[in-house]
Amino acid sequence: TQGEVIEVINRPTGLLDPEVEVKPATGQVPDLLEQIRETVSMGDRVLVTTLTKRMSEDLSDFFQETEIKARYLHSDIDTLERVEILQELRRGIYDVLVGVNLLREGLDLPEVSLVAIMDADKEGFLRSETALIQTIGRAARNENSRVILYGDVITGSMQRAIDETNRRRSIQAAHNEEFGITPKTVSRDLGTTVEEEVRERVEAVQAQDENVEAAGQEDLAVKLEAEMLKAAQDLDFEKAALLRDRVMRLRGETPEPSSSPRPKGRQKRKRH
């Protein structure tokens, strides 16, 4: 209706927004380790969000030393390699993914039932009410979803995010009861490779240059370059990377590998 905003809260799957628990930031790592082991024992995955890249790397290393299959994810990692890491999380090659701003990945991971937000009481962009609500929502693809906010105090942003999540849960639960809906974890096929998933998303773009004459290739390259920049601005990095490769091919250049090899086991990283 004109001038009216429709709020979409209920899901066809009946899934509720996750339960949110606040735990002290003091001693957060040992507690999180226990929570991870419990979650992984059920066959589920875990997302952990930190405030810094260094902390995400150190935490990932610590988990690996305690025989947890963990991996860090941040902006220094090649775009398509990030997509591959996400797929490997879903496949169970990794059980835990640690990152700074996991919102930008556009994550849709039904295998994740626990999201842990470290230092949730540190006010700022990454711990604002909006960021917290959106990060909490990353667990809303699993019927066993839960979120732990680690903080020694409950900030205004934390309280508002908790209140909003509880409000949504109440509406969703009432809807399910009224219509006899049983919450069910979203099921997504794991049969396709990362490359196939990404290419499906931009199939129309790829088809554009199949029969392009040489004279029109630069015009198309310019057009695709603009689309690439827009995709990057929209944080659709998978699409942007694929468009980048098409532009390079049109200009006779060799695209970068879609992913770079990674050593097994403990990850070595550069010290600055």
The tokens for 92 are: 């169970």
The answer to whether residues 36 and 68 touch, using CB atoms and an 8 Å cutoff, is yes
The pLDDT of residue 253: 80
Percent of the chain with pLDDT over 70: 77
pTM of the predicted model, to two decimals? 0.70
Angle at 227 between CA 221 and CA 232, to 5 degrees: 125
Q: How confident is the model at residue 29 (pLDDT cuts 50, 70, 90)?
A: very high
User: Helix H segments across the chain?
Assistant: 28-41, 53-65, 79-91, 129-136, 156-179, 194-201, 203-207, 217-233, 237-250
Domains and CATH numbers, the chain: 19-179 (3.40.50.300), 194-250 (no CATH)
Render pLDDT for 124-139 as a digit per residue (tens, 0 to 9): 888 999 889 988 988 8
Inter-helix orientation angle 237-250/194-201, to 10°: 80
The answer to whether residues 136 and 104 touch, using CB atoms and an 8 Å cutoff, is no
CA distance 134 to 174: 22
Q: How many CB atoms lie within 10 A of CB 115?
A: 26
Mean predicted confidence (pLDDT) in 164-182: 95
Q: How confident is the model at residue 272 (pLDDT cuts 50, 70, 90)?
A: very low
Q: How confident is the model at residue 104 (pLDDT cuts 50, 70, 90)?
A: low
Choose among 259, 261, 234: nearest CA to 245. 259
